[in-house]
Amino acid sequence: MPMIETVNLTKKYAELTALNNLNLSINTGDCYGFIGPNGAGKTTTIKILATLLKPTWGEARIDGKVIGYQNREIRPRIGYVPDFMGAYEDMVVEEYLDFFAAAYNINGKQRRQVVGDVLELTDLAYKRDAEVNSLSRGMQQRLSIARVLLHDPKVLLMDEPASGLDPRARVEIRELLKELRRMGKTILISSHILHELAELCNVIGIIEQGELIFSGPVDEVMARARVGRVVQIGVEARVQEAAKLLSQVAGITKVIITQEDRGPVIHCTIDEEAGIAISDLPSRLITAGFRVTTLTEEKINLETAFMRLTRGLVQ
C-alpha cells in the first residue's frame, strides 16, 4: 500500500481549477520530487495532504487514512514544512521546540530528550539560546525541519524548503534531507532547484495546469525527455556553412546555431536509430576544410527534461 496516494484529487476556486484529477502514488521510503511551473498546483497539493485544505472532490490518503475523515489519525503521521516559518517574538530556539513538543503531548524528561535529539540532528544545538528571529534564513529552515521531527512522523511534506537559501545553506539542507531519507522517512518535496532534486530524489512528478503529466523514477523522466542525441560542435569560421553541411547528413534531424560565451555553437540532434558515430561529424567537417574547435555531447539533466516536457502553462 502506498504511503501517500491521491485518487482524482481536484481543487476548484470558483472558476479556477487548481488541481484536476490528480493521481499520485508515493511508496514508503520514497523521496518524491514534485516540480512544475509557478501556479501549477504544487502548494495546493501539499496543503491538502497536510490537512490544511479540503479538496473539492477526489480522495487523498496518508498511510491508508483518508484526509478529511481521519485527520486526527493523520496529523501525528505527518510533518509539514512550509516555505516560510513563523515564530512568536523573543522566543529562543529551545523554547520554540519545547512549545511544539508540548503541543504534541511530549512531556517531562522525554520532551527534553526529544528537543535535544532534534537539535543535534539538525546541527542547531549551539543555537539553542539564540532568538528565532535572529537566525539566518538557512538556520530557520533547519529549525522548521527540527520542529516537524519532534513527534517522529512517517511522512514529511516540504514546500520549497531551499527557497531563498544561499549555496552553503542549500547544501546543508540537502544533506539533512539525505539523512532523513536514510532514517526511512517518506518525503514529498517541491522545489525549483531541479539539479538538487535529481541528486536527492528517487522519484519525480511533473505537474502542469493542475494535471500530473509525468510520475516515475528519475531515469525514466530523462529517457522520456530525450528526443535524440544532441552534439554541440564549434568551428573556427564559416559557421553557417558548417551547419548546412551537417544538416545534410542522413540521421541528423535538427541543426541549430546558438550564440554562447565561447562563440557560435552548432547543435545537431541525431536520430537514436541512425547509428551515427559522434566521431564521424568532425571528420566530415575537417574533410570539407573546416577547423573544429569543440565537440561535446549534451547531457540530459532534470532541468532539460522539465523544459522539454512542460510548456510553462499555468491556470
Where would I find the beta strands (DSSP E) of 14-152?
A: 16-22, 25-26, 31-35, 57-62, 65-66, 78-81
Q: Which of 120, 115, 121, 113 is nearest to 179 (CA)?
A: 121
Residues 161 and 143 sit within 8 Å (Cβ to Cβ): no
Give pLDDT, residue 98: 96
Query: Per-residue confidence at 313, pLDDT binned at 50, 70, 90?
Result: very low
Q: Which of 191, 209, 157 is nearest to 302 (CA)?
A: 191
Q: How far apart are CA 138 and CA 146, in angstroms?
A: 12
Average pLDDT rounded to a whole number, residues 223-235:
76
The tens digit of pLDDT for each residue in 230-266 reads 888 999 999 999 999 999 988 888 888 988 877 899 9
Average pLDDT rounded to a whole number, residues 166-181:
87
Give pLDDT, residue 154: 96
Radius of gyration of the chain (CA): 24
Q: Is the pLDDT of residue 306 over 70?
A: no
What cell does 198 get?
535529481
The tens digit of pLDDT for each residue in 37-69 reads 888 899 999 999 999 999 999 999 999 999 999
The tens digit of pLDDT for each residue in 9-38 reads 999 998 899 999 999 999 999 999 998 888
Domain ranges of the chain: 4-217, 227-299
Domain 227-299: give its CATH architecture: 2-Layer Sandwich (3.30)
Residues 54 and 68 sit within 8 Å (Cβ to Cβ): yes
Give pLDDT, residue 315: 39
Average pLDDT rounded to a whole number, residues 164-188:
89
- CATH superfamily of the domain spanning 4-217: P-loop containing nucleotide triphosphate hydrolases (3.40.50.300)
Q: Is the pLDDT of residue 288 over 90?
A: yes
**pTM reported for the whole predicted model:** 0.76
Mean pLDDT taken over the chain:
88
> What pairing do the DSSP bridges indicate for beta strands 203-208 and 31-35?
parallel
Give pLDDT, residue 300: 66
The percent of residues above 70 in pLDDT, for the chain, comes to: 91
The tens digit of pLDDT for each residue in 62-110 reads 999 999 999 999 999 999 999 877 777 789 999 999 999 999 999 999 9
Q: Is the pLDDT of residue 308 over 90?
A: no
